Structure 1
Amino acid sequence: MEIRFADKNDIDMLMSIRLEMLRIVNGKSADYRFDDELVDNSRRYFLEGDQMTVLAIDNGKAVACASISYIEIMPTFSHPTGKRAHIMNVYTNTGHRRQGIARQMMNMLISDARARGVTEICLDATEQGRPLYEAMGFKESDEYMVMAFDKE
């Protein structure tokens, strides 16, 4: 199993695992066809957006993914860089769950965010993912789960 940051050459694998995840999360059949706008914009975002995606690849096929989108807002006292991030699309297909893949992908994304000077990461948690995020230090908030870094 290879777990690594994706690059532009991985676009077909990125799209495949993202659409698999969207089908599962939204209760769609394996042959469900997504709207072209969603597919085209997802592809564009992977290629051009301010993001990083980690892929877990087993025998040449993506079996898990996790993405982080970077945003910059006006700096505040508690977030002097103004750099924040949102983690999304953390997904491991059924046959590869409970092996620590999601934790490893999350650690890679968190390390990348810290290296970029991000002062806060948020994410939307499913009930299934919540125990992992809590164990990693994310805290519940009114809207989403958050991990804030102390100033160093």
Structure 2
Amino acid sequence: MTFTHRLATRGDLPALATVVEAAIAELQKGFLDAGQIASSRAIMGIDTRLVDDGTYFVIEAEGRVAGCGGWSRRATLYGGDHSAGRDAALLDPAVDPAKVRAMYTHPDFARRGVGRRILSLCEAAARAEGFRTLELMATLSGRPLYEAAGFAPVEHLTDASGGAPVPLVRMRKAITVR
């Protein structure tokens, strides 16, 4: 199977919303209970600022969106357009970590390298802008991928803003200089 990537556009949002919903509904099973999965919908999603900033990628295969995800030079760590507490302040690459954001893989393409490809694209783009560290907020289902990619946990927390408390893990990784 051949995967391609490109930057997302606003026109992609309906297709991306379908991927987000499928990923939340299916890939969190075994990690979260039904209430936590429902609560996840309130705290996860796509932040269209990433699309507008040109830092959000679409991975395609067989004419379908296989996954999506991006990075940000802004302070918000996680959450979609509907999430409270977003902060659009620009980060200082010399001291602040770039944020890896809103990574989703369609269940039909899970465990085929989609997430690793997005992480690689994010790391290269952030490195090109002078960032030395990446940071993300991992779900329990995403944590194994991030650990395999070199991210280390720095904080465990829960977000109950969607109702049931959802466990999350803040993770970081130093960007290697090439």
* Candidates 125, 129, 133, aligned match of 1:112: 125
Q: CA RMSD in A?
A: 3.1
Q: Per-residue deviation at 1:44? A: 4.5
Q: Per-residue deviation at 1:58? A: 2.4
Contact 1:11–1:47 under 8 Å retained in 2: no
Q: Which runs of 5+ in 2 are unaligned?
A: 29-35, 75-89, 157-169
Q: 3-state SS of the aligned residue for 2:139? A: coil
Contact 1:21–1:89 under 8 Å retained in 2: no
Separation (CA, whole Å) in 2 of partners of 1:43 and 1:122: 16
% identity of equivalent residues? 22
Give the alignment's TM-score, normalised by structure 2.
0.60
Q: Per-residue deviation at 1:86? A: 1.2
Q: 3-state SS of the aligned residue for 2:119? A: helix
The answer to which structure, 1 or 2, has the higher relative contact order (CA under 8 A, 6+ apart) is 2
Q: Superposition pairs for residues 10-89 of structure 1, below 5 Å?
A: 10-21=12-23, 27=37, 44-48=48-52, 50=53, 52-71=55-74, 72-73=90-91, 81-82=94-95, 84-89=97-102
4+ residue runs of structure 1 moved beyond 6 angstroms? none
Q: Per-residue deviation at 1:21? A: 4.0
Separation (CA, whole Å) in 2 of partners of 1:6 and 1:101: 15
Q: Per-residue deviation at 1:141? A: 0.5
Larger Rg: 1
Are the structure 2 counterparts of residues 130 and 94 from structure 1 closer, same or farther at C-alpha, using a change threshold of 3 Å?
same
Q: How many residues align?
A: 137
Are the structure 2 counterparts of residues 43 and 99 from structure 1 closer, same or farther at C-alpha, using a change threshold of 3 Å?
closer
Contact 1:68–1:85 under 8 Å retained in 2: yes
Separation (CA, whole Å) in 1 of partners of 2:136 and 2:48: 22
Q: Per-residue deviation at 1:135? A: 1.9
Contact 2:8–2:57 under 8 Å retained in 1: no
Q: Per-residue deviation at 1:45? A: 2.2
* Candidates 116, 132, 136, aligned match of 1:103: 116
What is the CA deviation profile of residues 111-131 of structure 1, one whole-angstrom value per residue up to 9, with x for unaligned ones? 111111112211111222222
Which residue identity is paired with 1:145?
M
Which residue identity is paired with 2:16?
L
Please name the residue that 2:6 is paired with: 5
